[in-house]
Amino acid sequence: MERQISILQQEALLKFSNCTSTAELEQIFLQYFGASGSFTRLLKDFKNIPENQRPKLGKLANMVKKELETAYSLKKEKIIKAQSEETIDVTIPGNEPPMGHLHIVTQAIEEIDRIFSQIGFTRVRYREIEWDWYSFGSLNFPPDHPARDDFETFFIDAAPLPKYGRMLLSPHTSSGQVREMERMHSRPPIRMINIAKCYRPNWDISHTPMFHQFEGLVVDEGINITHLKGTMDYFAKQYFGPERKTRLRPFHFQFTEPSFEVDITCGVCLGKGTLPDGQKCKYCKEGWLELGGSGMVHPNVLAAGKIDPKKYTGFAFGWGVERTYMMKSGTKLDDNRLLYTNDIRFLEQF
């Protein structure tokens, strides 16, 4: 018993002296003197020791208890005093907050904007909530065209307008073509680059329901396919590098005639389709990668924007920002949805 008291005494004194806050100190005090504290339990055991030893041990226990209580009070005073004397050193450097950076899609948009502004395109941004007229009707889509299906476009539950049709979420930046003609009071020259959010009801590893496109529109007297091709080559060399080339592949779009898909030479095999060791390039299809759509503006579209198709001609193109960025960086995402789930561990890699 004597030994036990002495062990508890040493242990408690040590713990008290190591304390840095009153809360901690009180908690330790209770570990010894609380209702089930170790010192309290020891005193309860007194009834089990021989009667002749009790006076001696009782005296010892009381002494130790007093000593510990005094040590506790002194320590408490000391902590309180130290806290009130604590000074703030204003010269200590603060914690540096982690630096963020622009989202990769914003970085790509800024670069695309810069490249086109250098050749006189005006950056615009048209609305995400649109009318059927701007997204389809004015772009030469017949009334029964499947793009209007609910599977391709988000329609908004609002009353349609006789002139503009149903309200929807713009499924492509082409919706900005006739809006730009109107903004320019139907007076070319027009050189527009519309970079905006687009929406389509797709959600899988290669599609997000919201994505971005950039749309070029040039209208003036005497505009022809060579201007389109020259602009494509200029963009490809500026954005992807001077060694890259483009080609126009015949295609179909409602709002352009003729229409093309724009391909760019692969950055890995540089358009050869094979690698130096004779192996087939896995990154592309025979040396080419598909960038997006383009074509000469359909006369009906010019007419919808009240521009005389006999006097003026134009070209247009529209590509996905995310896709164009991935093609440049060679980033192959297992899941495109990663771009918009805001996981810092992913985003900070770019």
Spell out, one character per residue from 117 to 156, where the chain touches ligand DAH: x when CB under 6 A holds, - when not.
Answer: ----------------------------------------
Q: Choose between 9 and 140: whose C-beta lies nearer to ligand DAH.
A: 140
Q: Which two tokens stand for residue 302?
A: 């010019």
Question: What is residue 149's DSSP assignment?
Answer: S
- Supply the minimum distance, in Å, between the C-beta of residue 348 and ligand DAH: 31
- Supply the minimum distance, in Å, between the C-beta of residue 146 and ligand DAH: 13
The number of C-alpha atoms within 13 Å of 277 and in the hemisphere containing its C-beta is: 4
Which of 65, 166, 172, 179 is in the footprint of ligand DAH by CB under 6 A? 172
Nearest to 240, CA basis, from 277, 280, 271, 281: 271
Which of 317, 321, 322, 324 is in the footprint of ligand DAH by CB under 6 A? 317
193 DSSP β-pair partners = 123, 216
Cβ(206)–Cβ(339) under 8 Å? no
Q: Choose between 139 and 266: whose C-beta lies nearer to ligand DAH.
A: 139
Which of 165, 267, 295, 305 is in the footprint of ligand DAH by CB under 6 A? 295
Cis peptide before 258 (omega within 30 of 0): yes
Q: Which two tokens stand for residue 73?
A: 């009070």
Which of 135, 138, 170, 294 is in the footprint of ligand DAH by CB under 6 A? 294
- Supply the minimum distance, in Å, between the C-beta of residue 177 and ligand DAH: 7
Which of 137, 305, 314, 318 is in the footprint of ligand DAH by CB under 6 A? 318
In b/e form, how buried is each residue of 190-208, taking b as 16+ CB within 10 angstroms?
A: bbbbbbbbbbbeeeeeeeb
Choices 75-83, 146-154, 271-279, 312-320; region in contact with ligand DAH by CB under 6 A:
312-320
Say whether residue 271 binds ligand DAH (CB under 6 A): no
Spell out, one character per residue from 194 to 233, where the chain touches ligand DAH: x when CB under 6 A holds, - when not.
Answer: ---------------------x------------------
Q: Which two tokens stand for residue 19?
A: 């304390």
Phi, psi dihedral angles at 176 (to 5 degrees): -85, -10
- Supply the minimum distance, in Å, between the C-beta of residue 251 and ligand DAH: 8
Which of 254, 256, 265, 324 is in the footprint of ligand DAH by CB under 6 A? 256
Phi-psi region of 213 (alpha: psi -120 to 50; beta: other; left: phi over 0): beta
Which of 214, 239, 253, 325 is in the footprint of ligand DAH by CB under 6 A? 253
What secondary structure does DSSP assign to 280-327, as a single string?
BPSSSBTTEEEEEEEEEEPHHHHHHTT--TTT-EEEEEEEEHHHHHHH
Which of 135, 174, 194, 313 is in the footprint of ligand DAH by CB under 6 A? 174
Over its C-alpha atoms, the chain yields an Rg (Å, rounded) of 38
Which of 188, 293, 305, 314 is in the footprint of ligand DAH by CB under 6 A? 293
- Rounded to whole angstroms, the Cα distance separating 275 from 33 reads 80
- Supply the minimum distance, in Å, between the C-beta of residue 211 and ligand DAH: 10
- Supply the minimum distance, in Å, between the C-beta of residue 128 and ligand DAH: 14
- Rounded to whole angstroms, the Cα distance separating 222 from 232 reads 18
Closest-approach residue to ligand DAH (CB): 293
Distance separating the N- and C-terminal Cα atoms of the chain = 68
Which of 19, 304, 316, 339 is in the footprint of ligand DAH by CB under 6 A? 316
Q: Choose between 33 and 155: whose C-beta lies nearer to ligand DAH.
A: 155
- Rounded to whole angstroms, the Cα distance separating 260 from 241 reads 22
Which residues contact ligand DAH by CB under 6 A?
A: 172, 174, 215, 253, 256, 292-295, 316-318
